[in-house]
Each structure stands twice: as structure tokens, then as C-alpha cells.
Structure 1
Amino acid sequence: DSFGDDLSQARSFGLIDDLPRAQAIDRCLGSSLENAVGIADDCVLNKEGLRYVDEFAKHKLLDAIGDLYLLGLPMFAAFDGYMSGHSLNNELARAVLLQPDSWELVSADNLRVSDDHGLPSLRKVGVS
């Protein structure tokens, strides 16, 4: 399991009927069925189908990673989003910046891989 294999190829998606309105306000200008998933009448229009069973959810996670990366530092965090999008992710980033007591800047030297699930975890530092 890796970012490259399991997440990075998730495409943007949208209702095909919404595309003309989006393009009229200079959004989705490069969208096509070659680089995005088109949806109409609850059906995927792309001949090859989805790249992942959960491609829509994976793309939402990619959006969140990209949006939160704009904070300027890599994050070790949990993210739980429901129907999130760029606007909500932006609100989250602003809330993080406004609440400095809700996060801590740590060195990558203080990270290790947990034996439990193979997920990164903070190593306790300065605690005996």
C-alpha cells in the first residue's frame, strides 16, 4: 500500500450537466473524460470505469491533503471529512492557524512507525 498505488491516481469527478456552468465561470477548463470522471444519471461515463472502487472518496482525500499542505508544513494528523471540498478544507486550514494550541510543531526525528498497524506515531520525547 502506498500513496502512488492506492491514492494518487484518483481523478476529479463531476456531473456532466454541471460542466458548461463551471466552464462559464472559468472552472474545469481542462476537464475531459481522459482526466476526470464524468457522471450522468448515477452512471460513470468513462468507458474504462473507475480506477478504484472508492475513487470518489480517494479524490476527496487527495483534495484535503493538497489543501492542507498549503499550510506550509507536512502534517502528521488524522482527517475525518464528510462531503468535504476545497471550501471546507480551506476553513479547516484557517481554523488550524487560528488555534495554535491545537497543534504542535515537531521534528521528523520524533516520528517512528508503530508496531501495531504500521502507521506513523509520535515517539514520546523527554518522558521517562
Structure 2
Amino acid sequence: MYQTTIKKAVELVGIGLHKGTPVRLRLEPLESNSGIVFYRSDVDVAIALTPENVVDTKMATVIGKDGIVISTIEHMLSAVYAYGLDNLKVIVDADEIPVMDGSSASFCMLLDEAGIKELDKPKRIMRIKKEIIVQEGEKYVKLSPSPDLKYDFTIKFAHPVINKQEYVLEFTKESYKNEIARARTFGFLHEVQYLRSKGLALGGTLENAIVLDDKKILNPEGLRFPDEFVRHKILDAIGDMSLIGMNFIGNYEAMAGSHDLNHKLTVELLKNPENYEIIELVGEKTAELEKAYA
């Protein structure tokens, strides 16, 4: 199994969640061993996708370099990771990735348009060898050894529409597209009002997020899945975990996980080489992975 990139450059224009202004996103192919590289075309700054370059995790995953940032990268990265892409240049002309409809469905469509191209070097993958957990009170995120890739997420909100939800994704590219990609981000009306008072979430609408008041959902079309909230948390987690730099094999488990806990988990994982092994997928070892990303 070989490393991949996209067959051709593709682009779209969407609204940035926080500033509410149009953002042009362009994806371009890269050669083997290039990794995922972000580039701000408006200020001519490249930012490598590494945990060291994460500068904020309060409301989204934000990477930065020398004071230049790119925010809300996780929805797009979730799709990139699910498609098994190893090498990609991500170009934006502003400080955030467009929010689109609040899910990763638009990014999946963009990658389908671009197509996937095999390169000349073997694909590298990380196998989790030891259990790693990051915990804060009742909240935790955990990686553990497993022969396959699974995401098991539980959330609890004191809201009548959400309450407690759990979802387990047995990962393949198809299961991701069918079960996770369309799940939208969500927020509460009082939070949106507060953020707007601070000059944030100016692009947030019922077109790109599920919004709830104290008792109900305000979106007239309702939910795409009865448990759309926890499915979106898995979408976020997949995007956040892509910062380890490659696809991995193991189980991810979370109770009320967050961007911040996911970032701390990637840092903890990479801190000790005994936590993992990196293998090149050649010969028979690739069979299961090829099924996952077919």
C-alpha cells in the first residue's frame, strides 16, 4: 500500500465561522513524505500540521506560526484523514477554514472531485502499543492497542434534547461517509449570543450549525440523525487525531472529550516512542487497511 495525494487541485469558497467573511480554500497535490501542509496565501506563511504548532483549542483546533494562525481545521482534516490522504497542501486566504454546513460532507465531496492518487513510497501507519489516557475530572480521552480502528464516544449534557449519548464507529472510509460526515457542529443560543458580543461566531447561522435554546432545537429541519451530537464529536476527534501525522491503528475512547483533551492526547502519545510503532505497509500487512480506505 502506497502513500497518497489528490489527483488534481480543487477549491471552494465558503464563509468563515468567526469573522463571517468569505474564505477561499484550495487543495493541491504534494509528493511522498511531504505530509499535510497549510499555507496562508494572504500573508505567505506555511504551517506544518504538527501538535507543536497547535496554539489554541478552546472552541476549535487552531494552528499557528509566528503569530499567523489558521482556525477551525478539524472538520476538513476529519475528511482528509478518513480518505487516508498522506500528502496535501491546504491553501486559505484568511485565518480560518470555511465552515460550510458545519459538517465534513462538503469536504468529502471536494475530495471525491479531486480523486485519490497513489505515490511511489510505502504508506506509513502508527500502531498504538500502550494505553494512553488524559483525564480531567470525569472527562477523559484514551488510546489503547487494537487490531483495527474504532472510535467510542460518550457525551452528557443537561439538555432535554441531548442528555447522554454514545456512539461507536468501526472505522472504514464508507462507514465514515455514511455515519459521521454529515453530522453538524452544535451550540447553545446563549453561547452564540456571548460569542457575538466578543466579535466571534459572526458567520454562525442555522445553515451551518445546530442551535439549541434551553428546551429545543431551533433549526426548522431538525436533526440529520437522532444522535447527531455525539456523531459530530467523533467527526471532531478524527480531525484532531490527524495531528499525529499519519493514520493509526488502535481504539480511541472518550467521555466528554474536547479539542483540548484530544490535543493533550496527541502530545502524550508522541512524547514516548514506546507508546507506538511506525510500520510501512507492504505486502500482506496492507489487506485490512486497503479495505478501510477503499
The Cα of 1:29 is off from its aligned counterpart by 3.4
The one-character-per-residue Cα deviations of 1:48-90 (angstroms, maximum 9, x if unpaired) are 1111111111111111111110221112221100111111111
- Structure 1 CA distance for aligned equivalents of residues 252 and 184 of structure 2: 20
> Which residue does the alignment assign to 1:125?
none
Corresponding residue of 2:244: 71
Secondary structure of 2:212 counterpart = strand
1:10 and 1:23 mapped to 2: Cα distance? 24
Which secondary structure state, in structure 2, belongs to the residue aligned with residue 8 of structure 1? Answer: coil
The equivalent residue for 1:43 is 216
2:270 and 2:187 mapped to 1: Cα distance? 30
Cα distance in 1 for partners of 2:199, 2:245 equals 27
- TM-score of the two chains, using structure 2 as the length reference: 0.37
| Residue number in structure 1 paired with 2:280 | 107
Aligned residue type for 2:266: A
Give me the whole-angstrom Cα distance separating, in 1, the residues matched to 2:256 and 2:223. 19
Matches within 5 A, 1:19-34: 19-25=192-198, 27-34=200-207
Higher RCO (C-alpha 8 Å, min separation 6): 2
Aligned-pair distance for 1:111?
3.6
Q: Which moved more, 1:26-35 or 1:38-47?
A: 26-35
How many residues are treated as equivalent by the alignment? 116
Question: Cα distance 1:29–1:94, how it changes in 2: closer, same or farther (>3 A)?
Answer: farther
CA–CA separation in structure 2 for the residues paired with 1:76 and 1:56: 25
- TM-score normalized with structure 1 length: 0.79
Asked if 1:11 corresponds to 2:11, the answer is: no
CA drift at 1:26: 5.2
> Which of 226, 242, 246 in structure 2 is aligned with 1:53?
226
Identity, % of aligned positions: 33
Call closer, same or farther: CA 1:79–1:18 in 2, change over 3 Å: same
Unaligned runs of 5+ in 2: 1-173
The structure whose residues are more often helix, as a share, is 1
* Residue type of the alignment partner of 1:113: E
Return the offset for 1:27: 4.2
- Relative distance call for 1:80 and 1:42 in structure 2 (3 A) is farther
Give the drift of 1:20. 2.3
Residue in 1 that maps onto 2:175:
2
Aligned-partner Cα distance in 1 for 2:271–2:230: 28
Partner Cα distance (2:237, 2:194) in 1:
24
Q: Distance in 2 between matches of 1:91 and 1:84?
A: 11
Q: CA deviation at 1:25?
A: 4.4
More strand by percentage = 2
* Structure 1 unaligned regions, length at least 5: 121-128
Aligned residues: CA RMSD: 2.1
